[in-house]
Amino acid sequence: MSTTEEKPGAETPETPETPEAAEPAQYDEGFGPEIGVGPHPEPWPEDERYDPELLAEGDRRNVVDEYRYWTREAIVADLDTRRHDFHVAVENWGHDFNIGSVVRTANAFLAKEVHIVGRRRWNRRGAMVTDRYQHVRHHPDTESLTAWAAAEGIPVIGIDNLPGAVPLERTVLPRRCVLLFGQEGPGLTDEARAHVEMVCSIAQFGSTRSINAGAAAAIAMHAWVQRYAEIDFPA
């Protein structure tokens, strides 16, 4: 079966189209001071990366300051010049609320692409519209994901605390890799387990059987970042 790539910024019935300037702000639910910036003082910067509507009305989107007033296309193009070599994949069989959070973290850690395996429609709520700045690819099943990865020469690493899993804390993840996560409840499917190169577990110490997939994804992505990312530490 074939895989399909969503255009960054693609909309679904779950994320109705909003004009760029009206993209929902992250902290607009009464939790604190309004984020972002108001209208840009004139004269306006002359650069096609800037969005005249945002310059005129202000930019309240959930983007880092260096991208204030930029069009979404310009932001995606800039991110594309420096995306990391890891991919994130997540199984989507039951509309798991964690997927949005996985996508948001994938954006924060600048994953190359996000892969949704299973149902095409996924629960975007926790993504806080970060998916608009990501390349998202859909695969109908794990076999399609692993076939795509094999063609790209990228190993798929399952992340789950399954019998036989190797501790992530003792594993060097490959620089180019797909990190595949399961969903709440069942975890990685048997099909996924059969297709991955290896499975890594995250050490736990308490009574719960597992952490949630969003937390596990953040930990695994950060393991990759700690090893390979160029980090600008403050002097």
Ligand X SMILES: C[S@@+](CC[C@H](N)C(=O)[O-])C[C@H]1O[C@@H](n2cnc3c(N)ncnc32)[C@H](O)[C@@H]1O
DSSP type of residue 50: B
Q: How far is the CB of 159 from ligand X (least distance, A)?
A: 5
Residues in contact with ligand X, total (CB under 6 A)? 19
Q: How far is the CB of 62 from ligand X (least distance, A)?
A: 25
Give residue 113's identity as a one-letter amino acid code.
E
What residues numbered 128-167 form the site for ligand X, per CB under 6 A?
159-162
Q: Taking contact as CB under 6 A, which single stretch among the options 44-52, 64-72, 105-113, 209-217 is the one that binds ligand X?
A: 209-217
Closest residue to ligand X in the complex (CB): 182
Tokens representing 222 are 């950060």
Tokens representing 180 are 């595949």
Q: How far is the CB of 203 from ligand X (least distance, A)?
A: 7
Binds ligand X by CB under 6 A, chosen from 178, 216, 218, 223: 216
Kindly report the CA angle at 29 between 126 and 39, in degrees rounded to 5? Answer: 105
Is residue 170 a contact point for ligand X (CB under 6 A)? no
**Closer to ligand X at the Cβ: 55 or 216?**
216
Binds ligand X by CB under 6 A, chosen from 149, 213, 218, 223: 213
Q: How far is the CB of 184 from ligand X (least distance, A)?
A: 5
**Closer to ligand X at the Cβ: 97 or 228?**
97
Spatial distance between the Cα atoms of 158 and 124, rounded to a whole number of angstroms: 22
Kindly report the CA angle at 175 between 172 and 177, in degrees rounded to 5? Answer: 95
Instruction: Find the DSSP H helices in the chain.
Output: 52-57, 72-80, 98-108, 142-152, 190-195, 213-228
DSSP type of residue 200: E
* Residues whose CB is less than 8 angstroms from the CB of residue 4 and which lie 6 or more positions away in sequence, other chains included: 137, 138
* Contacting positions for ligand X (CB under 6 A): 159-162, 181-184, 187-188, 201-202, 204, 209-213, 216
